[in-house]
Structure 1
């Protein structure tokens, strides 16, 4: 029995062949009428293959939409719950299929890495594996398209700053992230992190494609206009799956009450999506990063800068955050992010005086934890500071655990929780946390590090084939990541490929990362496995050199 039945019009056979080959290369077995043998009863064999298939991929074209055979096959597949329709060119589908979600691949030329084609593969895989199918770590690392969660789901697209200069998007981006963070406080909603949605600025993708990539139903679009002290936020809530506008509104206020405006937007959006949300939940969702409009703008400029994660960006972020702290000395958000920026300078050896950066990081850590110790984001930054500058995993673990109690579904909390699990030896839970972080923030600026964390967990779980594939994906983007290099070297040794381990160990040694990797692992079995793998890698490197 084949996994997939491919339905198409005979005149589209060259296109159907491309789909059959691409589906087979993705690991599926495909039945289409070219597989009929001489003497087969066409009607009987075709109907049996159609009924037995777990997914029926129907290729809609101007020719197939008028084909009696294709429409009959699609009708039966729809009745059996196996229909996976695809548009291979612009055409008007039969009226009974107009409301069926259909992948638009009219542009597709055979590239299996195409995001829309990946979406098709994801949908087919769900049909073939059943409703409980979950993406593998390798699929996640290579850009898996997610299923819709069981609860209402939403992502915010970048808001347009109608009054801002080009490259001056930080104000509108800040509003997106604040509203996203407020929505994330509603346990009845699934919310994609605002920073992930910002990658869709200037995209030409339609709303349906974005929903499929992020695995959400609703998308919030908007614009921000500032005129003097006046602010207007226009928003539009769309059901991207159905292609319908659900609701639209505008919110007016001043820069001094911009925080109230954001909370009103989040509350109204939340209640539109889920009418069961109560006033108590609305109050819990309220967040405030700064006290005044001036510091608000500085903070979000700094937030945008530090995500560049290079020496210049970090310097710019530090300069801006110092201005925030000068105006608001007890601002825990600014203090914790400022400490993290200095800790990043220290751990990455950026700057002439890294010990001064270490001292600054600890100074701001102490100040932040004193005034913001019950905020999950601040706890995570503070835990990251401790790990980066003094390696205090026990205190960091307590902070991460508290952050997870406060916001168990936060991408940032899950990210740091995953690394904490690596250190403590709980690789399975670490893998689950990294996967959860990537689900909530699939295009995160730290995505390569999340993927790297997944690869390290898979290595410690002795799933070496999967680990190697995931780690190679991560190292393509962050080639000098010490922990990733160490884990990949160990994988290659365990897979019987020590000659391939040698260059990874050589890069790790050049970065001075070998002692640091061994120092953080607290599980003895993991220390032994990693130590043995690195020793064999070192021996192979010496053998090659001689």
Structure 2
């Protein structure tokens, strides 16, 4: 590392590096990179014995040209790091990096977060180049004119697209290409604040076809527009399901969601032609910012979609940035994992409508058929492969035959890997693969990179974050799960699935009142939602209310969950016959596909030996229910049993 004397009279820009002491090994390469690039990097390792720590630190913090914050699972919980980041934000010189894929905490997510979790510490890597671009953007005129670090050569590998759509390398020695211009725009090199954003919601477009069966098309078109616009870091776009609310005044809904603008529209179509009308209006006064109408063939729908998204982005970003920057922002809205086949697109939209319904059973089978139809029409449709994997997973979880469950999980893994091979930047593909490895094969360590990738790629997507939070809730990272699920609710405050996931995260944290409140909210938003009543029944049982648990269990839509909760509640009520009847139905309908649920019931019936034997068999079968074992309230009677502790050790818990 360079010393303070290396500048020989030339003042070097001071950078304050904020990190958690537990991350020192990861912080050193960053410090060395900055020093090697000609900056004066201050960090607490430079404190001399006897120095006044607070005074010296504050002086460095106030005098720094930029505050480089290294976010991690450890540092997000550090009051020192948060305070230092807060000062960097107040002074307008914050450069946030994530060294392990952890999101910045609330209050700092409006800043572009540079993910360097895959960096090997090499000063000539793409990650190193992006760090220096971000720092130079903040330091401005005080940055070194030249640096000792060699710029990546044209032959150097380009940054992996899957890392983040928001991190773009400036290649070459001083020359900036199209991708470099985008990177410059994102880091604020053109002058306006890089963190400036404006908010909007895309409402479901009105179905004016005269055919209620075509509603999937108008809703789906709006959903795809949301997806495109949400890729623009200058736009805060409310998550899809938050805006899927019918029968409510659009301006009232906009105010409820806290957004400044509403994109509304209407669709007319027949077998060959389509007309799309769209308006962008302000929530505060109803002013029409932009309005247009498009007529064309169905094959034109992709161009229409792109043009609407482009004009909306230009109209809004130009309010907070220059026209040049607004145009640069459009580069972030490129299609990811899509198709140019109308037949495939329509099938995909029908599948998504069924997925959003979340009713399980035949609805999931129908959704799977639609995604398979989309793939048949376009074998390279990555998003369809990812959603096919997702539907296979839904069916695997609900399957009543152990062999069928294994087959469905294996198919889902193949489908998810195909989606990732076609488009690495697609978060849903990583989510599906992670879920299949974790739930289908109990390979938590193997699943972790997939969930981390999904978290990075879908950092602003509440639907992604709720699934990642659920993964973390099964392990020891309950606080991280809680933070992520709260962010998901913040991003998607009217999403039934998000509240259901929040309920299960609370269940794993043994916060039973929150389980009830979250699930009640989920059902208020979507009364057909599966498994919500089951979670509430388990929570009531854990609170000692067996009668209330039984009443809730009887309302559960998913048979295996209904039977399990019923058998457990009846046992706690002393209804031996009722509990035995529900248990017999589990055996008859599910057999070895429900070994974990049988163990839950036996534990509640007081037969610990039988429960432990069933759990042992479940391990051999790879029963995904075992993910619950470390925190499952229904297994509480087994805690303290040596055999149960040994079983958890085998599971890596």
TM-score, structure 1 as length reference: 0.61
Q: CA deviation at 1:280?
A: 3.2
Please name the residue that 1:385 is paired with.
436
1:174 aligns with 2:220: yes
Q: Equivalents in 1 of 2:347, 2:549: separation in Å?
A: 46
1:302 aligns with 2:351: yes
Cα-to-partner distance string for 1:197-223 (whole Å, 9 max, x where unaligned): 2232xx1x3233212332222111101
- 8 Å CA contact 1:454–1:470 kept in 2: the answer is no
Equivalences, count:
377
Q: Equivalents in 2 of 1:404, 1:163: separation in Å?
A: 38
Cα-to-partner distance string for 1:222-264 (whole Å, 9 max, x where unaligned): 0123356443321111222333333312234443342222122
Q: Equivalents in 1 of 2:392, 2:306: separation in Å?
A: 31
1:330 aligns with 2:380: yes
Please name the residue that 1:78 is paired with.
none
Q: CA deviation at 1:377?
A: 2.4
1:194 aligns with 2:240: yes
1:282 aligns with 2:330: yes
Q: RMSD of the TM alignment (CA)?
A: 3.6
Please name the residue that 2:275 is paired with.
232
Q: Equivalents in 2 of 1:324, 1:479: separation in Å?
A: 26
Match of 2:340 among 291, 316, 331: 291
- 8 Å CA contact 1:380–1:412 kept in 2: the answer is no
Following superposition of structure 1 onto structure 2, how do residues 349-360 of structure 1 map, counting pairs within 5 Å? 349=399, 353-360=404-411
More displaced, 410-419 or 512-521? Answer: 512-521
Q: Equivalents in 2 of 1:157, 1:529: separation in Å?
A: 39
Following superposition of structure 1 onto structure 2, how do residues 49-60 of structure 1 map, counting pairs within 5 Å? none
Q: Secondary structure at the match of 2:467?
A: helix
TM-score, structure 2 as length reference: 0.51
Q: 1:343 to 1:237 in 2, by over 3 A?
A: same
More displaced, 340-349 or 431-440? Answer: 431-440
Cα-to-partner distance string for 1:22-57 (whole Å, 9 max, x where unaligned): xxxxxxxxxxxxxxxxxxxxxxxxxxxxxxxxxxxx
Q: CA deviation at 1:272?
A: 1.5
- 8 Å CA contact 2:392–2:412 kept in 1: the answer is yes
- 8 Å CA contact 1:434–1:453 kept in 2: the answer is no
More displaced, 413-422 or 429-438? Answer: 429-438
- 8 Å CA contact 1:219–1:239 kept in 2: the answer is yes
- 8 Å CA contact 2:496–2:522 kept in 1: the answer is no
Q: Equivalents in 1 of 2:537, 2:488: separation in Å?
A: 23
Q: Secondary structure at the match of 2:212?
A: coil
1:363 aligns with 2:414: yes
Please name the residue that 2:128 is paired with.
none
Q: Equivalents in 2 of 1:472, 1:349: separation in Å?
A: 26
Q: Equivalents in 2 of 1:344, 1:405: separation in Å?
A: 24
Q: CA deviation at 1:305?
A: 2.1
Cα-to-partner distance string for 1:174-218 (whole Å, 9 max, x where unaligned): 210111011111112221123332232xx1x32332123322221
Please name the residue that 2:249 is paired with.
206
- 8 Å CA contact 2:503–2:535 kept in 1: the answer is yes
User: Tell me, which stretches of 5 or more residues in structure 1 are unaligned?
Assistant: 1-131, 133-148, 537-546
- 8 Å CA contact 1:490–1:534 kept in 2: the answer is no
Q: 1:329 to 1:238 in 2, by over 3 A?
A: same
Q: Secondary structure at the match of 1:297?
A: helix
